[in-house]
Structure 1
Amino acid sequence: MFELRLLVPQDRVDAVSDALEALDALSVSVEDADAQTDSEQALFGEPGMPPPRGGWNRSRVIALFPTEEAAREAGALLQAQDFFDGCQVAGVEDVPEQDWVRLTQSQFAPVEITPQFWIVPTWHQPPDQARQVIRLDPGLAFGTGTHPTTRMCLRWIARQQLAGQRVLDYGCGSGILAIGAAKFGATDIDAVDIDEAAVQSTQANALANDVVLHAGLPERAQGKYQTVLANILASPLKVLAPLLCAHVAPGGSLVLAGILERQTEELKQAYAPYARLDVADTEDGWVLMTARL
C-alpha cells in the first residue's frame, strides 16, 4: 500500500477528496496540517453544538492506493486540474503491512462498570472477578461502554432491582443499556432509535448476549414503563421531556444522560413541569440525572 500525501487549503478539500475517490483511492482522510504546532486549530466544539469552523486553514489529505504507480499517477493527474491551484503534493510513502484487525482490536479492552460487571469485546476473556458480562464489539452505533455517559447509566442499572420490570431504552444506539437492563432482571424491554443501523445493531448485540428485547423505531415505544433510559444529548432531551415523562409509570424511574455538568440547571428547568430531576452520578464533566415519578 502507498499513501499520496497532499497539502490543501480549506476551500479545496472537498474537491480534492472527491477527485481522489474518482481516481479509485482505497481511502481518503483529512488531518490538520498544523497539528501539534502553534498554528493548530480546534475544529470541533462541545457535544451537541455545531463546529465553530468548517475545516482547518491548511489540511493534510492522505489517500491510500494499492501501488506506488497508482499513487504517483493520481498526484500527477490532480496537479493538472484547475481546482488544484494552491494545493501541493507532499509526497508518496510506502505503508508497511500490518495486521489491521489485530491493531484495531488492541485498542478496545474490557471496560469495568463495577468490580463484578464488565463490558468485554468478543476477542477478550472476561476478567476472573466478572459475575455479569456484556459482550459488545465496536460498531457503527454509539455505545461501547467506553464513554462516561454509558458507564454511568450501566452503573445505575447494576444498582437497581429491575427484576420483572418493563424498561424503555430511548435512543438505544448499540442497545447496550437495554442489554444491561436484561442482564439485571428486566423482562419486557423496548429499545428504540431513529437510526435503522442502531436498531439492527441492537438486535445483533441482543442475540450475541442471549437476551430477549424488542428493537425498533421510536413509534415502538408504547404505554408505561417502570424504567425509562435515555442517553442522548441535552438538546434533544429537553425537546423530549413531555414524551419521555409520559412513558414513565407512576413510581417509576427516569434516567437521563448525555448531559454536561454546565447543562444541569437547564435540564432541571425543562423537566420541572413533569418531574424533579436530580444529579445521581458524575464523571469527567458529564452528569447522570434521574427522577422518580
Structure 2
Amino acid sequence: MPWIQIKLNATNENAEAIGDMLMDETGALSITFLDAKDTPVFEPLPGETRLWGDTDVLALYDAEIDTAAVLAQIQASPLLAKDFAYKVEQIEDKDWEREWMDNFHPMKFGERLWICPSWREIPDPTAVNVMLDPGLAFGTGTHPTTALCLQWLDSLDLAGKTVIDFGCGSGILAIAAIKLGAAKVVGIDIDPQALQASRDNAARNGVADQIEVYLPQNQPEGLVADVVVANILAGPLRELSPVIKSLMKPQGQLAMSGVLDVQAEGVADFYRDELDIDPIVEMQEWCRITGRKRS
C-alpha cells in the first residue's frame, strides 16, 4: 500500500525532540533524520543522537491518515514556529530493505582503494578492498568528507607507518589505512558505539590485530603517529587543535575533513602555527585540509 511522508525542517538542537513528538503524538510509524545536505543520518539509540548541521525530519504515516489533522497537531507543538516549513508526499509501496540495499554500490577512491558492501560482488579482487556495510556509526564512503579522506589515504605511502583515526566512527578510514599498508592504526572516538563498530568492521576485514580503539580518556599516554586523519566537524577541529597537533610526530602528516568551504580557511588557521598547510581541496562544498608538521 502507499504511504504518506511529511518532511519538516528542523535544527540539530530540536530534531530529536520533534521526532519524538511525531512518534508519540501524531502516530508516525517511523522517523528518519537527514542533514541539510540530504545525507542520511542513521537513527541512533536514545540519548546518542549526534546530528550535525540543520536537519530535516521525515515522518512516515499510513496513507489513510487525516493529513490535515496531523499537520494541525504538528502546528500546535511549541517545538515548531507557527510558519514552519513542511512538505507532504505520497510514497509508493516498495520492498524497503531491498530499496535500501540497492542504493549502496562498490565505490573506488584514488587508484587502489574500493569500499564494498557485503552483498555486492567485488569489482576488482586484485585491488585494496574494504568490506563495509552501512550502519549506525558514521562513515560509509558515500559522503564527500569521507571520500576526501579515503582519496588522501590512497595517495600516501603508508608502509610500516602508524596512523591515528581521530573520530573513527565506523572505522572505515582506520581499516582503509591498514589495508593500504599501515603497520598499526589507533582509532579514537567519544562514542563507545563507534568503537564497537570499528572493532566489528576490523574483524570483518581480517585486520582486528592491527587496530586499537580508545575513548579519549583511555588512550595511551604520549600517543603519536606518522599520519593523523580527523573526519569530524569544524567546531571540534578548532577546539581540539592542540590535542590533534600533539598526536603528530615531527614531519607527520594530517588530513582533516567535515569542514564546509566557508569554514576551511578558519579551521586551517588553527594549525598553521605548527603545520605547513597544503592547498585546500573541495568536493561538493565540503573540504579537506592537509598539512605536514614542522620539525
Q: Aligned residue for 1:291?
A: 291
Question: Tell me, what secondary structure is at the counterpart of 1:185?
Answer: coil
Distance 2:271 2:265 in 1: 10
Q: Aligned residue for 1:26?
A: 29
User: CA distance change for structure 1 residues 154 and 78 in 2, over 3 Å: closer, same or farther?
Assistant: closer
Distance 1:77 1:118 in 2: 45
Distance 1:209 1:141 in 2: 17
User: CA distance change for structure 1 residues 22 and 2 in 2, over 3 Å: closer, same or farther?
Assistant: farther
Gaps in structure 1 of 5+ consecutive residues: 32-42
| Deviation digits for residues 235-280 of structure 1 (CA, Å, limit 9, x no counterpart) | 2111111111111112211221122233232123211223232236
Instruction: For 2:275, give the aligned amino acid.
Output: A
Q: Aligned residue for 2:230?
A: 230
Instruction: For 2:199, give the aligned amino acid.
Output: Q
Aligned pairs for 1:1-293 within 5 A: 3=3, 18=21, 20-21=23-24, 26-28=29-31, 44=36, 51=54, 62-64=60-62, 96=93, 98-128=94-124, 131-212=127-208, 213-222=211-220, 223-279=223-279, 281-293=281-293
Q: Aligned residue for 2:43?
A: none
Distance 1:100 1:136 in 2: 20
Instruction: For 1:224, give the aligned amino acid.
Output: V
Instruction: For 1:139, give the aligned amino acid.
Output: G
Distance 2:140 2:240 in 1: 24
Asked whether the 8 Å contact 1:192–1:220 carries over to 2, the reply is: no
Distance 1:9 1:163 in 2: 46
Distance 2:33 2:179 in 1: 41
Distance 2:203 2:219 in 1: 20
Distance 1:8 1:286 in 2: 24
Gaps in structure 2 of 5+ consecutive residues: 40-50, 83-87
Q: How many residues align?
A: 266
142-151 vs 270-279, which deviates more?
A: 270-279
User: CA distance change for structure 1 residues 256 and 4 in 2, over 3 Å: closer, same or farther?
Assistant: closer
Coordinate RMSD, CA, aligned: 4.3
User: CA distance change for structure 1 residues 262 and 204 in 2, over 3 Å: closer, same or farther?
Assistant: same
Distance 2:265 2:138 in 1: 26
Instruction: For 1:240, give the aligned amino acid.
Output: L
TM-score (norm 1): 0.73
Q: Aligned residue for 2:44?
A: none
Asked whether the 8 Å contact 1:170–1:218 carries over to 2, the reply is: no
| Deviation digits for residues 82-136 of structure 1 (CA, Å, limit 9, x no counterpart) | x69x9xxxx9x8963x322211111111111034321111011111375111111
Instruction: For 1:219, give the aligned amino acid.
Output: Q
User: CA distance change for structure 1 residues 3 and 20 in 2, over 3 Å: closer, same or farther?
Assistant: farther
Distance 1:138 1:242 in 2: 32
Shift in Å, 1:26: 3.4
| Deviation digits for residues 128-160 of structure 1 (CA, Å, limit 9, x no counterpart) | 375111111111111111122212211221121
Q: Which of 1 and 2 has greater Rg? A: 1
Shift in Å, 1:16: 10
TM-score (norm 2): 0.73
User: CA distance change for structure 1 residues 133 and 63 in 2, over 3 Å: closer, same or farther?
Assistant: same
Distance 1:200 1:216 in 2: 10
User: CA distance change for structure 1 residues 121 and 271 in 2, over 3 Å: closer, same or farther?
Assistant: same
Asked whether the 8 Å contact 1:164–1:187 carries over to 2, the reply is: yes
Distance 1:234 1:202 in 2: 23
